[in-house]
Amino acid sequence: MYDFLRGSVAALDTSGRLSLDVNGVGYLLRVSEQTRRRIALDGSAVTLHVRLVVREDDLLLFGFADAAERAAFDLLTGVQQVGPNVALAILSALGTDELRRILLTRDAKALREIKGVGPKLAERLVVELADRVERIPASLPAAGGSAPARASEEAQRALVVLGFGAKEAADALAQVAAPGKPAEELVRLALARLR
């Protein structure tokens, strides 16, 4: 129903509730801690990707700084026993890049440290999402972002497109990783290990 909202911040609190003024209409959104930190409070226009969650007695809007975070939210809420509040808690604690890494390496222990995620749920998340982690696009690097990290992400996406599993690609890239190598070189070296 809604894809994004663009407006100015009317109010933002530390619990992640954001009131966004869009042409005189105030929308109450819930945002992760990661998104809250990225929102400019200088009165400039803010664009948030949104997801509407319909409950029997309420309509809830969740806002995300980028499409990658919204895709991660959708993936998390697709797992049984993960509601929007737990998904938002996970994204607040980790962010999308860290969540991708945890799922690729199947690190359930890191997920158990998040409030609201017990051992069984952490295992379920890792088992169900490890093979679907490529549905979370890599977030755009911030200004001055690490070139080796971008090259590795690009190489991993290329390997997934070529038909390899996300974990398989990550493992092969970890074996050939070297600073300063371009994505094409990383793909070539990883392919030699995968074949």
pLDDT digits (tens, 9 = 90+) for 40-62: 777 788 999 999 999 889 899 99
**Residues 110-156 pLDDT 10s:** 999 998 899 999 999 999 998 888 888 765 544 444 556 677 777 88
Same CATH fold assignment for domains 67-135 and 147-194: no
Sort strands 58-64 and 25-31 into parallel, antiparallel or unpaired: parallel
Domains in the chain: boundaries: 4-64, 67-135, 147-194
Q: Using a pLDDT cut of 70, give the percent of the chain over it.
A: 93
Q: Give domain 4-64's CATH number out of 2.40.50.140, 3.10.110.10, 3.40.50.300, 1.10.530.10.
A: 2.40.50.140
Helices (H), the chain: 33-38, 67-77, 84-94, 96-105, 108-112, 119-129, 147-161, 166-176, 183-194
Mapped onto helix, strand or coil, the DSSP state of residue 30 is strand
**Burial of residue 64, with CB atoms counted within 10 A of its CB: 0-12 exposed, 13-18 middle, 19 or more buried:** buried
CATH code reported for the domain at 147-194: 1.10.8
State the Cα–Cα distance between residues 181 and 186, nearest whole angstrom: 7
What pLDDT score does 145 carry? 47
CATH class of 67-135: mainly alpha
State the Cα–Cα distance between residues 34 and 74, nearest whole angstrom: 16
What pLDDT score does 186 carry? 87
Is the distance from CB of 68 to CB of 35 less than 8 angstroms?
A: no
Rounded average pLDDT over 14-31: 93
> 20 or 184, which is more confident?
20
Produce one character per residue of 39-52: b if its CB has 16 or more CB atoms within 10 Å, e if not. Answer: beeeeeebebbbbe
State the Cα–Cα distance between residues 176 and 185, nearest whole angstrom: 10
